[in-house]
């Protein structure tokens, strides 16, 4: 037996208090951040053991294919059409809305207002009071946009006449849809049902949609994610901030904009000049095209849908067709417009979280000074958000490169196994809407996805036949 050593160096795994006690005595300690997987819940640990054990090779092969699809698809904007003409399965008085399926009685205030505005813009009601009666009476069908290969941002609800961006991914054979951006200001997607908000919907239908149809027809297909990648290198996360990609697109389309007929040209120019968010729905449609291709892979533990309606929050895995739904989370790390605070905030809302599944939004935070402002103010805060995604993601983007990380790619492919094991859920950069007054956007911040639906999805995957 040897004598006790004179000096020890310690590696402490887990609870940091032991390390601190040793450091206080002058002992060198290397602390390892380790936690009990899945918070120590034995049933969940058992499910994880299957997915990391017997099923590991199946799941990992599937995940590799999902990552490949998310990383290599090249969705193109091929056309601008209308919901009625382009989106499969829409008939009659139907609104496509954000998030999981929901009955009007459960719809949150901002989304109700958006639905009323859409009903009036469609001409089904002459004012918002009549629209409210139609909606409450069940005279308008409500359909999740996600059920129709579509994604809509924030508190969006769009009717059959609304213009849509038609996006095609040739390699995957998928087609996806998103509305034309309503822009900032007094707008329905921010939960407003004022005359101006309704007028904006009519402008999109009567002017912007036809103008964009003409532009895309003349300019030809647009490689959306090529522009998005340039945007990432210029400080966009492509979710909270889309300024650089929008500006690139405006310059790209300038010749076609100049050739628009006079009745469209001036209004479109003013609309685009005032809309730094224009690219958002393009990025969302592209992300949806990628995830639609990815979700055709069986047995994968990677999340391919993530969406919220202000009441519930739902996800879906590539490997299992069901939605897993829980309560919509609040938005934290928020900056509010003057006069507003957390008590005024509606829960997290919109389909835009699809961006976080393909390496944009939160995963791209480290490249975005504008997003950093919402995450604590320093670029280190933004890096932490990206690195949190890296811990729960299965792959790294080869196209979205982060200059402040010396061109490392953004994390892609949120793996539900890692989410549940580490207890780290996706952080979604997003706007904040007023919960009741119809004031519209009152700030922006970060929503942390609720763990419950990830655990449910993990359970469904591990216990599938």
Positions in the binding site for its own copies (CB under 8 A):
233-235, 243-244, 246-248, 250-255, 257-260, 265-266, 268-270, 272-273, 276, 369, 372, 378-380, 403-404, 406-407
Residue with tokens 């919960």: 435
d(CA 223, CA 167): 10
| 379 versus 462: smaller Cβ distance to its own copies | 379
Q: Quick one: tokens of 62?
A: 């599937």
In the complex, what is the shortest distance from the CB of residue 283 to its own copies, in angstroms, rounded to a whole number? 17
Instruction: Please check whether residue 350 is in contact with residue 144, taking contact to mean a CB–CB distance below 8 angstroms.
Output: no
Residue 386 Cβ, how far from its own copies at the closest point, in Å? 14
Q: Nearer Cβ to its own copies, position 274 or 321?
A: 274
CB nearer to its own copies: pick between 150 and 240? 240
Burial zone of 29 (CB within 10 Å; 0-12 exposed, 13-18 middle, 19+ buried) = middle
Residue closer to its own copies (CB basis): 387 or 452: 387
Closest contact distance (angstroms) between CB of 202 and its own copies is 20
Question: Taken in order 243, 245, 247, 249, is the CA torsion positive or negative?
Answer: negative
The least CB distance from residue 379 to its own copies, in Å, is 5
Q: How far is the CB of 180 from its own copies (least distance, A)?
A: 17
Nearest-angstrom CA–CA distance, 208 and 204: 5
Residue bearing tokens 């139907």: 94
Q: Are 370 and 335 in contact (CB under 8 A)?
A: no
Give the CA dihedral 225, 81, 137, 182, nearest 10 degrees: 50
Nearer to its own copies, 281 or 368 (CB): 368
B/e letters for 115-154, b = 16+ CB within 10 Å, e = fewer, are bbbbbbbbebbeebeebbebbeeeebebbbbbebbbbbbb
Q: Which residue, 202 or 265, has its beta carbon nearer to its own copies?
A: 265
What is the closest distance, in whole angstroms, from the C-beta atom of residue 37 to its own copies in the complex? 35
């Amino acid at each position: 037996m040897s004598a006790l050593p004179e000096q020890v160096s310690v590696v402490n795994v887990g609870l940091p208090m032991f390390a601190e006690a040793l450091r206080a005595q002058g002992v060198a300690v290397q602390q390892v951040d380790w936690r009990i997987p899945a918070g120590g819940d034995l049933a969940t640990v058992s499910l994880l053991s299957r997915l990391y054990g017997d099923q590991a090779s199946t799941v990992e092969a599937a995940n590799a294919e999902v990552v490949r699809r998310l990383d290599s698809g090249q969705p193109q904007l091929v056309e601008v059409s209308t919901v009625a003409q382009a989106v499969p399965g829409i008939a009659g008085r139907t609104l496509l809305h954000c998030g999981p399926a929901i009955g009007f009685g459960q719809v949150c205030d901002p989304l109700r207002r958006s639905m009323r505005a859409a009903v009036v813009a469609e001409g089904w009601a002459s004012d918002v009071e009549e629209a409210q009666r139609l909606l409450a009476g069940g005279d308008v069908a409500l359909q999740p946009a996600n059920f129709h290969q579509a994604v809509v941002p924030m508190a969006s609800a769009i009717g059959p006449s609304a213009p849509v961006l038609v996006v095609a991914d040739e390699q995957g054979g998928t087609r996806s849809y998103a509305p034309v951006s309503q822009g900032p200001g007094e707008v329905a997607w921010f939960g407003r049902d004022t005359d101006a908000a309704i007028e904006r919907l009519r402008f999109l239908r009567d002017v912007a949609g036809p103008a964009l149809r003409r532009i895309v027809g003349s300019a030809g297909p647009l490689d959306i994610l090529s522009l998005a990648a340039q945007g990432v290198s210029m400080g966009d996360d492509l979710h909270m901030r889309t300024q650089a990609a929008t500006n690139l697109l405006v310059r790209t389309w300038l010749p076609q904009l100049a050739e628009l007929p006079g009745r469209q040209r001036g209004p479109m120019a003013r609309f685009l000049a005032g809309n730094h968010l224009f690219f958002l729905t393009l990025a969302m449609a592209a992300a949806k095209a990628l995830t639609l291709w990815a979700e055709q892979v069986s047995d994968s533990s990677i999340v391919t849908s993530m969406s919220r309606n202000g009441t519930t929050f739902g996800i879906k895995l590539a490997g299992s067709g069901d939605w897993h739904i829980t309560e919509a989370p609040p938005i934290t790390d928020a900056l509010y417009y003057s006069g507003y605070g957390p008590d005024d905030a509606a829960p997290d809302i919109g389909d835009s979280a699809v961006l976080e599944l393909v390496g944009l939004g939160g995963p791209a935070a480290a490249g975005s000074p504008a997003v950093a402002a919402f995450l604590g103010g320093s670029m280190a805060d933004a890096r932490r958000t990206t690195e949190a995604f890296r811990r729960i993601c299965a792959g790294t983007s080869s196209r979205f490169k982060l200059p402040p990380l010396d061109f490392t790619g953004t994390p892609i492919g949120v793996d539900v196994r890692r989410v549940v094991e580490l207890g780290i859920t996706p952080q979604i950069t997003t706007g904040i809407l007023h919960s009741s007054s119809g004031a519209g956007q009152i700030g922006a911040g970060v929503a942390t996805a609720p763990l419950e639906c990830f655990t449910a999805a993990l359970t469904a995957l591990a216990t599938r036949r």
